[in-house]
Structure 1
Amino acid sequence: MTSINTASRSLVPSDAGLLESTSRYGVGTHPNDRGLPVARWLTAVMRFPIGLAASWFVMAIVVMWALFPALFTSYSGTVGVARQQLRAPSAEHWLGTDALGRDLLARVIYGAANSLSGAFVAVGVGLVIGTTLGLLAGSARGRVDGAIMRIVDVLLSIPQLLLSLSIVILLGFGTVNAAIAVGVTSIASFARLARSEVVRVRASDYVEAAFGSGGTFVRVLLRHILPNSLTSVVALAALQFGSAILAISTLGFLGYGAPPPTPEWGLLIAEGRNYIARAWWLTTVPGVVVILVVLSANRINQSFGKDRT
């Protein structure tokens, strides 16, 4: 019995040895576990959404272009340099020059303000007017709902490009007018979504309780229905931002946007198409910028959608 007890005790580490191991390596930091933090770090890096980070980086750069263009270029966006026409990309002009000797990088940078501001105006017009119409249709119901939704159906039946071209012709050329035209084409989408959300919220128990406790229509509408109906509408606004940039660039390409020599991305592509055989960068660079901004805006909106779900 004594030999058995002695052998079993020899298999159990002594308290002194346990304390020595703990004091040397720390609790849970055995020498064999030193590689785990590195593996966890590599796993976290592999799982990090690189595409989302790149999208945020692109949008941050473009916003900085729009706010502080002078920090990124020393050239003018409208004035050319004599004898510098159609220069290929070089150390002096990173993205080359156009037919009038204007630095293309400066044109793209200064054009960000027009394109982004136009997109914000377009989204704002669609968001405010469309949400208001949807809110009234979903809350008032009856004939008001029927009349508003018939107007929405008419807007949806007209192709967006045709409708925006018609509005621009009526209002006149320019970035603001083009943005208003693009915003009008998105009113129907905002109105339908806002109406569906209002109808859903309107049938909730707390809204019925608010009406039952003596709340007026306007008070219940502004305090309960509207705040709880804006989540999906704001998400649609984020999605429409990239589409608005693309639509405004399309109008600028067709000649209905900002007039020359104002730098605007769609106008830059249109000006360079006549020289595409000898100066490919005049159309390629602005086109790539538009594509990157639109894809980045859509990728950021998708990330918000995943967070909501």
Structure 2
Amino acid sequence: MTSLNTIGRSLLRDDTDIPASPSQVLRRASSGGRWLKVIRDIQPGLVLSWFIMAVVMLWALFPQWFTSYSATVGVARQQLRAPSAEHWLGTDALGRDLLARIIYGAGNSLTGAFVAVGVGLLVGTTLGIIAGSARGRIDGAIMRSVDVLLSIPQLLLSLSIVILLGFGIVNAAIAVGITSIASFARLARSEVVRVRASDYVEAAFGSGGTFSRVLLRHILPNSLTSVIAFAALQLGWAILTISTLGFLGYGAPPPTPEWGLLIAEGRNYLARAWWLTTVPGIVVILVVLSANRISQSFGRARA
């Protein structure tokens, strides 16, 4: 009996040495090929863009995680200090840590940008959907109003609205959002008209579907992809425009940290303290480029 058990165990061990079947080899090879394809498809620029946006979002949500300095209170005898181990990006004319002001400024700049994109996305997309669905006189009236908005330079229109509403980051964001309504409306209308002319939409109407049901189930889901990609592109544009308004003095009032205001405050010390304007400007450029790169990836995914 003992010898039989020994022989059985040896046979079981030998079974493990049996080579895999051809189908198993092919499955393993295909699995490895998929992983290689995934690795090859990774785009370093896109990964870096997502990383930058994630870091900036964390700055806006949890600024105390990244700095222990105040963004509004300076330190005596620490004015215009160059970047060092104590102050990584130096200090401004009032002894405030520049890195802390950039980190806390992310909350104001991103909040304003999201408000601006939200206003343009909600109002503009709604108008575009109504125009593309209703057609006729309603479509003509809406699109002529959109043409009037598009004929006015956006920065000039933003400045005019800010002057009417009053200074402040929220008012600046609303002004920037109003100027983007026309772009969202035109894009949404063109997508609705394109999808509505598709064969599957005509088939849905032919099979007895009501207009509201076809609109919700077929037209809107297939029309909003481009609008969402455009919203990501508009996020970078909104950050840049709000920073421009802040630089001109129409954004957040001092001592509130805001990226455009930081650049404006440091321009008088450019010869002595270059970091006061250079570093916030680089941050704005990186965030805008990252938002544009992410928007491009959405557009390619749709194609």
State the TM-score, normalized to the length of structure 1: 0.83
Residues in 2 aligned to 1:46 and 1:274: alpha-carbon distance in whole angstroms: 48
> Is structure 2 residue 291 aligned with structure 1 residue 297?
yes
Partner of 2:259: 265
- 1:108 is aligned, of 99, 102, 111, to 102
User: Which shifted more, 51-60 or 271-280?
Assistant: 51-60
Structure 1, 199-208 or 153-162: larger mean CA deviation: 199-208
Q: CA deviation at 1:301?
A: 1.7
Whichever residue aligns with residue 158 of structure 2, its letter is S
Cα offsets for 1:245-301 (capped at 9, x unmatched):
111101100001111110000000000001111011100010000001111111122
2:57 to 43, 63, 72: 63
**2:127 maps to 1:133:** yes
Given candidates 164, 170, 173, the residue that maps to 2:167 is: 173
Match status 1:199 vs 2:193: yes
How many correspondences in the alignment?
Answer: 278
Picking from 146, 149, 172, the partner of 1:152 is 146
In the TM superposition, what is the alpha-carbon distance from 1:135 to its structure 2 partner?
0.6
- Equivalent of 1:87, from 64, 81, 88? 81
* Structure with bigger gyration radius: 1
CA distance in 1, matches of 2:282, 2:18: 57
* The one of 229, 233, 247 aligned to 1:253: 247
The secondary structure found in structure 1 opposite 2:83 is coil
User: One-letter code of the match for 1:95?
Assistant: L
What secondary structure sits across from 1:149 in the alignment? Answer: helix
Q: 1:214 to 1:262 in 2, by over 3 A?
A: same
What TM-score, normalized to structure 2? 0.85
Partner of 2:68: 74
**Further displaced range: 49-58 or 282-291:** 49-58
Question: Tell me, what secondary structure is at the counterpart of 1:136?
Answer: helix
Gaps of at least 5 residues in structure 1 are 1-22, 29-40
Letter in 1 for 2:237: S
The counterpart of 2:233, out of the listed 236, 239, 243, is 239
Determine whether 1:308 maps to 2:290.
no
Give the drift of 1:27. 9.5
How far apart, in 1, do the equivalents of 2:153 and 2:90 lie?
A: 37
The amino acid that maps onto 2:238 is A
Shift in Å, 1:100: 0.7
Alpha-carbon RMSD across the aligned residues, in angstroms, is: 2.5
Q: CA deviation at 1:204?
A: 2.8
1:281–1:200 Cα change, 3 Å: same
Name the CA shift for 1:273/1:145 in 2 (closer, same or farther; >3 Å).
Answer: same
Number of the residue aligned with 2:4: none
- The one-letter amino acid of 1:293's match is V
Give the fraction of aligned pairs with identical amino acids, expressed as a percent: 83
User: Do residues 280 (structure 1) and 277 (structure 2) align?
Assistant: no
Amino acid in structure 2 at the alignment position of 1:259: P
Cα distance change, pair 53–209 in 1 and its aligned pair in 2 (3 A):
closer
1:133 & 1:43 partners in 2: Cα distance? Answer: 42
Q: Indicate if the aligned counterparts of 2:172 and 2:250 stay in contact, CA closer than 8 A.
A: yes
AA matched with 2:177: G
Q: What's 1:4 paired with?
A: none
Q: How far 1:43 sits from its partner (Å)?
A: 10
Deviation of 1:213 (Å): 5.1
SS in 1 for 2:81: coil
Map 1:31-42; keep pairs closer than 5 Å: none
Contact 2:226 2:302 in 1 (8 A): no
CA distance 1:141–1:78, change in 2 (3 Å): same
Is the aligned partner of 1:52 residue 2:72? no
